[in-house]
Structure 1
Amino acid sequence: MNRIISLCIASLLLLLGGCATVIRSNVTAFNEWPADLPSKSFVFEHTDAQNNDLEYRNYEGLVRAELQRLGFVQQDNTATAQLKVALNYSIAARDVHVVEPVVADPMWYGGYGPYGWGRPGFYGPRFGDPFYDPFWYAPQVVGQREYDYQLFLRRLNIIITRAAGGQKLYDVTVNSEGKMNSLPAVMPYLVRSAFTDFPGKSGVPHVVKLKVEDQQ
């Protein structure tokens, strides 16, 4: 009986742990960030089409908030800004086909099991045998099931350059794959991941995991 209780508690904990959605991102940043940068003033560099794109402007606002958190200051006058910031993003789907075994555990079905093996008795055909432990009765593979689903690759690239001369100082790419197909819902986490441990070690890939907030 203690074994049954332990298994039930473990299953419940696994279910509760699986309820939280996590955005997992692979982040790689290349940088030549100067230690003596005199000013962190910046402007966004974008095309006319991007300037009139409401989705782009929304993501630009997310990047602005992260930069301001790091001490950067946006300038209205392009001529006085020391840095330029540009961003690009995309989302693409791929199909996944899964084949997995179907396992039946007679422990949960009583004497005959889910498919009728054994004679009447508690958890198996040998109930009444003092040396028979029904709780260690081996699960049986009874078939297989197949199903399909889609995964979505969400990608974000942010580049910071010197306004004068165009020298690249920070070039970060964030790749995140998951079942969530809404780029606006995922983008706040991609942007946060892009500036985790800024500027970080150049060219060293790392993984960032962020828990999805309830409102998302």
Structure 2
Amino acid sequence: MKALLSACILAVSTLVVGCGTIIRSDVTTFHEWPDTLADKSYVFERTKEQNDSLEYKNYENLVRHELNQLGFSEAPSGTKPALKAALSYSINGRDVREVYPVVVNPYPYWYGPAWRGYYGPFYDPFWFGPPVVEQRVSQYHLFNRQLRVTLARMSDSKKLFETTVVSEGTNGSLASVMPYMVRSAFTEFPGKNGVPRHIELKMD
């Protein structure tokens, strides 16, 4: 019976922890990255819609920062870069309904012998018998957030690096989550080829 109580408490605790400020992302990278790359200059390749989007420019700046941290450099205007970078992103949501067990007090008020004074069953959960477990329902909106970044050779458009970041959570603000998704995309660059990774980053 104690095992049942512990399992129920653990289930509730897991739900509470899941509501913290941790951004969890699943990252899958495919690459044919050369052992040496003398010229790491790049330029962003944008669609017409991206050129007109202030939101895109904000996310592009995040990718630019990560590339610069890795030793890449954006090519000055009028020069020919060795690489071209591209990014795309999306977010969509769905309603989720979860049923989970909760341990409840079957005796909310009880007065013991006079010398014991008043106390509730939480002092002795097995005084009257096993605990009562009720099923509770939780409903919320879950968002699926995706980011895709590619690096290709400028000369022949051959892709050298392609990574996809998928993150799910209740935060529907893509702008607040994107910095952590971009960081996840370049963690351990270029990363293991074709090996999915689970990355967790704490929000500042």
Range of TM-score over shorter length: 0.7 to 0.9
1:55-109 deviation line (CA, Å, top 9, x unaligned): 0000000000000000000013365100000000000101111223342136xxx
Distance (Å, rounded) in 2 between the aligned partners of 1:152 and 1:24: 12
Distance (Å, rounded) in 2 between the aligned partners of 1:47 and 1:20: 36
Residue 36 of structure 1: CA displacement?
A: 1.7
Indicate which of 116, 139, 143 corresponds to 1:148. 139
Identity of matched residues, % = 49
Structure 1 residues without counterparts, runs of 5 or longer: 1-10, 107-112, 128-133
Moved more, 73-82 or 44-53: 73-82
Determine if contact 1:20/1:212 at 8 Å carries over to the other structure.
no
Distance (Å, rounded) in 2 between the aligned partners of 1:210 and 1:185: 13
Residue 204 of structure 1: CA displacement?
A: 0.4
Determine if contact 1:43/1:74 at 8 Å carries over to the other structure.
yes
With over 3 angstroms needed to count, the CA separation of the structure-2 counterparts of 1:70 and 1:47, relative to structure 1, is same
Instruction: Please say if 1:45 is aligned against 2:37.
Output: no
With over 3 angstroms needed to count, the CA separation of the structure-2 counterparts of 1:136 and 1:146, relative to structure 1, is closer
Instruction: Please say if 1:139 is aligned against 2:120.
Output: no
Indicate which of 209, 212, 215 corresponds to 2:200. 209
Cross-structure match for 1:161:
152
Residue 23 of structure 1: CA displacement?
A: 0.1
Residue 20 of structure 1: CA displacement?
A: 4.4
Cα root mean square deviation, aligned: 2.6
Matches of residues 51-200 of structure 1 in structure 2 within 5 Å? 51-77=51-77, 79-105=79-105, 113-114=107-108, 120-121=111-112, 135-137=124-126, 138-141=130-133, 143-200=134-191
Please say which structure displays the higher CA radius of gyration.
Answer: 1
Distance (Å, rounded) in 1 between the aligned partners of 2:148 and 2:39: 23
TM-score when scaled to structure 1?
Answer: 0.77
**Secondary structure at 2:29's aligned position in 1?**
strand
Q: How many residues align?
A: 182
**Secondary structure at 1:80's aligned position in 2?**
coil
Residue 136 of structure 1: CA displacement?
A: 5.0
Distance (Å, rounded) in 1 between the aligned partners of 2:102 and 2:23: 29
Cross-structure match for 1:131:
none
Distance (Å, rounded) in 1 between the aligned partners of 2:28 and 2:162: 8
Distance (Å, rounded) in 1 between the aligned partners of 2:137 and 2:195: 38
